[in-house]
Structure 1
Amino acid sequence: MMKNRLLTLFGAAALTLSVQASADVDPNLPDYERASGISGNLNSIGSDTLNNLMTLWAEEFNKFYPNVNVQIQGAGSSTAPPAITEGTASFAPMSREMRQSEIQSFEDRHGYPPYALPVAVDMLAVYVNKDNPIEGMTLPQVDAVFSATRRGGYHEDITRWGQLGLTGSWANRDFALYSRNAVSGTYGYFKDNALFGGDFKSSINEQPGSSSVVQGVTESINGIGYSGIGYVTSGVRAVPLARDEGDEFFEASAENAASGDYPLARYLYVYINKHPNRPLDPMTREFVKMLYSKVGQEVVHRDGYVPLPETVASRVRSELGVD
């Protein structure tokens, strides 16, 4: 599923990373060089998943441009489209692609669609408490744990750890389910790809941010939840996942995301307002150039996500005329 999406977006180059390039920053990415005359306000409104990344990028940008005032809000991906449509934000980070209705609203206002910058590859992880011994789960099992609809086809509702193969004191333990809330792009992605478009159980504990999900699982021995891999802590384990019964389990690693083997890998996006016949304003241009440079993708690696290869970065820079 993700393999096809990545191929559609950026061609085979996005998936043919070497192990080194997937785990580290591509040495072919350009260095970033400071431009003159950059100052003003840079506003970002959108994804909680990307909140850390946007903050780290802003810190790097301020090292080059100390006169730029940066404001970042990370309440959830659904807050990004109206912000960029109405012009209250120049950057709209999202952990999912914009829906067609959101694109249409922007186009109705501006006469052209927003531009999606793929900025990193994320792995959506299913987290359990660090003391949980489970070895792996299939996506239909994940669906049967979290959903009321079981569109993944698992033969029974899963309500106890013993149904996932755990024995002894674990066998009859119920789940404490932790989820993002509906404003989150991570919630929507998990619903579409792990629940096969189905509905969450009413017993889930909805959380306002990814760190809250991880904290809940950390504090509950029976906990299970999901968020981006960038929020992993020593209190939780990311469960290896398989697409179906009998398939190999793959850990949420950079190598497995780059190869397409990990089943819940996705692009993270930052949307911008780019007129098709006009250049970007200087500050947006330089921020975008920094994102697709060594320093920008080193931030991605440092925050626990998978950096983009130069093959993808150069294509975006060329399309935007920021080479």
Structure 2
Amino acid sequence: MPSLNFKLPLVLTLLHLNCSVQATCVLNELPKYQPQQQVSGTIRNYGFGLGGVLKKWEEQFRHYHPDIHFQDTLPSSDTAFPALVTGQTDLAPDGGEPAITEILSFFEVYGYHALDITVASGTYDVDGKSPGIVVYVHRDNPLSRLTIAQLDGIFGAERNGSLRGFKWSLNDKRSDEENIRTWGQLGLSGEWADKAIQTYGHAPSGTSRFFQLKVLKNSDKWNQNLREYVETGSKMISDDDLAQEGGLQHMLSKELANNKYGMAWSIAPQAKKISGIKALALAAKEGGPYIAPSKASFQDRSYPLVRNLYIYLNRKPGTAIEPKLKEFLRYVLSREGQQEVTVNGSYLPLPPTTVCEQLEKLE
């Protein structure tokens, strides 16, 4: 068979063009921004600058509303909820889901939950841009797909309930009989049938909190053989050689790539250029559809483990959102606002259905 290597640049170019075309099509389906009313005053933002996107939104919004001014304090997502709870901000941009202490503290102060508006999708393979979760196995593993429930069985453990916000619920309990600990339980036979699944994942972080929320029903009961790692090149890891053994790239290249009985959940940026592993398609429910991770499936959000970027605000149920805040959020969710999301490939714009869901929250 002739080598296909010469076709690779063309294939990659076509894939890039296809994703670019798809993003353009998505943007063209979104409503253009039309001000409902002219607004003025100051909007305070405290939290995460969304990789520079927030500043772009502000700059463009002022073309429509020149009497609006912004007061920004943007050190990190970790400051968003504290500022919202203490009344130091109007909007709290955040790169992820709040911790239970953040949810609870807001509720204890105000007696209701903060309103969350999803303003963009996390990236597929751009480092530091809220990439979604991808599940990897050794390249020789015959497995090609999993459901989210199976992931729960593999990486989680018996639980008598789950956490919904800060409420403990008994509806999502499961017994240890639903634990999946061998490859045979996933349908593999022969030499695989009785071999234990060695699990790998992230140490405590925003990414692991997202995995717990979406896969483990917000439980913190893990498979006891889970081996934890931090993002290579991040602030969570030191520069010395020994510390690199605690990094995800070391795990993926030196451990998973040499352990055909292993399975890891991680993020695509950490798996770049690592040979010997492959990604699995995932399904949100039994019977599928099973969706392979890609920029396209993250873009249309058909892949079940895409992350969100949020802007939180304090809105008492039954009351109207302050006009200047509503207008700004309407701009963020417009065609023009979502176009800014794509600048420099930072994040992914929302598909029309998600935009409609978020706009409904503003009414």
TM surpasses 0.5: yes
- Residues 5-33 of structure 1, C-alpha deviations (whole Å, 9 max, x = no match): xxxxxxxxxxxxxx958973243321478
Change (3 A) 1:167 1:290: farther
RMSD over equivalenced CA pairs, Å: 5.1
1:125 matched to 2:133? yes
- 1:200 Cα deviation (Å)? 1.5
- Give the residue type in structure 2 aligned to 1:280: E
Q: Which AA in structure 1 matches 2:282?
A: L
8 A contact 1:291–1:297 mirrored in 2: yes
1:43 aligns with 2:49: no
Query: 1:234 is aligned with what amino acid?
Result: K
Q: CA 1:71–1:27 in structure 2 vs 1: closer, same or farther (change >3 Å)?
A: same
The counterpart of 2:31, out of the listed 1, 19, 29, is 29
Q: Does 1:55 pair with 2:51?
A: yes
Structure 1 residue 115: deviation in Å?
Answer: 1.7
Of 123, 128, 151, which aligns to 1:142? 151
How far residue 222 of structure 1 moved from its aligned partner, in angstroms, is: 0.8
CA contact (8 A) 2:232 2:270 kept: no
Q: In structure 2, how many angstroms separate the alpha carbons of the residues matched to 1:232 and 1:26?
A: 32
Q: TM-score, normalised by structure 1?
A: 0.60
For residue 280 of structure 1, the aligned residue among 319, 322, 346 is 322
Deviation at 1:181, TM superposition (A): 1.2
Q: Distance in 1 between matches of 2:358 and 2:188?
A: 46
Show the counterpart of 2:125.
none
Shift of 1:137: 3.2
Counterpart for residue 234 of structure 1: 272
Amino acid at match of 1:204: R
**Contact preservation (8 Å) 2:45, 2:73:** yes
1:195 is aligned to 2:236: no
Distance in 2, Cα, partners of 1:277 & 1:246: 42
The residue that corresponds to 1:294 in the other structure is 335
Q: How does 1:87-166 map onto structure 2 within 5 Å?
A: 87-89=87-89, 90-93=91-94, 95-96=96-97, 105-110=105-110, 113-121=113-121, 124-128=132-136, 132=139, 134=141, 135-149=144-158, 151=174, 156-158=180-182
- More deviation, 240-249/114-123: 240-249
Structure 1 position 204 matched with structure 2 position 227? yes
Shift of 1:55: 2.0
Q: Report SS of the residue matched to 1:252.
A: coil
How do residues 65-84 of structure 1 correspond to structure 2 at under 5 angstroms?
68=70, 70-74=72-76, 80-84=80-84
Identity, % of aligned positions: 19
Are residues 56 and 217 of structure 1, via their aligned partners in 2, closer, same or farther at CA, if it must alter by over 3 Å?
farther
Q: Deviation per CA, 1:120-156: give whole Å up to 9, x if none.
A: 4568422438x73553334354335423449585565
Structure 1's 146 and 113: CA in aligned 2 closer, same or farther, altered over 3 A? closer
The worse-fitting range, judged by mean Cα deviation, of 146-155 and 132-141 is: 146-155
Aligned mates of 1:59, 1:133 — CA distance in 2: 46
In structure 2, runs of 5+ residues without a counterpart are 1-20, 64-68, 123-130, 160-173, 237-246, 258-262
Deviations 1:158-191 (A, max 9, x none): 4x89x886999xx989846122516x3x434422
The structural deviation recorded for 1:268 is 4.7
1:177 aligns with 2:220: no
Using the TM superposition, give the Cα deviation of residue 116 of structure 1 relative to its aligned residue in structure 2, in angstroms: 1.8
* 2:240 matched residue in structure 1: none
Residues 256, 262 of structure 1: 8 Å contact kept: yes
Distance 2:254 2:25 in 1: 31
Deviation at 1:292, TM superposition (A): 0.7
The answer for the alignment partner of 1:4 in structure 2 is: none
Q: CA deviation at 1:91?
A: 0.8
Q: From the CA coordinates, give the structure whose radius of gyration is larger.
A: 2
2:39–2:323 CA contact under 8 A, matched in 1? no
CA distance in 2, matches of 1:195, 1:22: 35
Amino acid at match of 1:177: Y
Q: Is the 8 A contact 2:181 2:196 kept in 1?
A: no
Question: Bigger CA drift: 118-127 or 254-263?
Answer: 254-263
Unaligned runs of 5+ in 1: 1-18, 46-50
